[in-house]
Amino acid sequence: MEPVYRGLGRCVCCFWLAVAFDIVGLVVLLIGVFVNVFFYDLLIYAGAIVIFLSLIWWVFWYSGNIEVPPAELEDDVGILKKDKGGISGAVRRLSSRVSSGIRSSFHRNGGPSSARAEARAARAQRSAPGALPAEQVAVAMATMTPREDTPYTTASVAADEEMPHTTTETSPI
């Protein structure tokens, strides 16, 4: 038997946290407004932020108390009745066929497939130790040091080019 929740519902802790955040935020905000201190703006902003953060607890409390009958949850959680007929059953069967067809075409045409990647890795390990698999290409790399006697001509080329004329607009103050 399901427990019966009265009054505040299931999420009583979230409710009281939301109320506490609202009260603390309101007190801090009102202190910032009515008490003559030099950091009143900090209190006003802090109170507003705490009141805003109480919205999180209100959302938790509200969403925790939403009740959905099990009949409406069937499709959302994957509990499907097999005896459904009519239009909804036909649409569900069509949707299932289309989605499975799309999934299988991804696997056939080189889409995301962990089995394909595992097979490729197994082939690479089985090949001879000195030989490279067909997908890999050997690249030789060498370290090169810059020469000191090479003249740099980029600065002289840039100095010869003329910059286009641009205008700057200013507004009167």
pLDDT digits (tens, 9 = 90+) for 89-146: 788 788 888 888 887 777 666 555 555 666 666 666 666 555 555 566 777 777 777 6
Which pLDDT score is estimated for 132? 53
Which pLDDT score is estimated for 71? 72
Which pLDDT score is estimated for 12? 92
Task: Assess contact for 34 and 43: CB atoms under 8 A.
Answer: no
- Residue 11, pLDDT above cutoff 60: yes
| C-alpha span between 24 and 18 (Å, rounded) | 10
- Could you tell me which of 46, 50, 56 has the C-alpha nearest to residue 23? 50
Residue 30's pLDDT band, with cuts at 50, 70 and 90, is: very high
Which pLDDT score is estimated for 24? 98
- Could you tell me which of 12, 53, 11, 45 has the C-alpha nearest to residue 28? 45
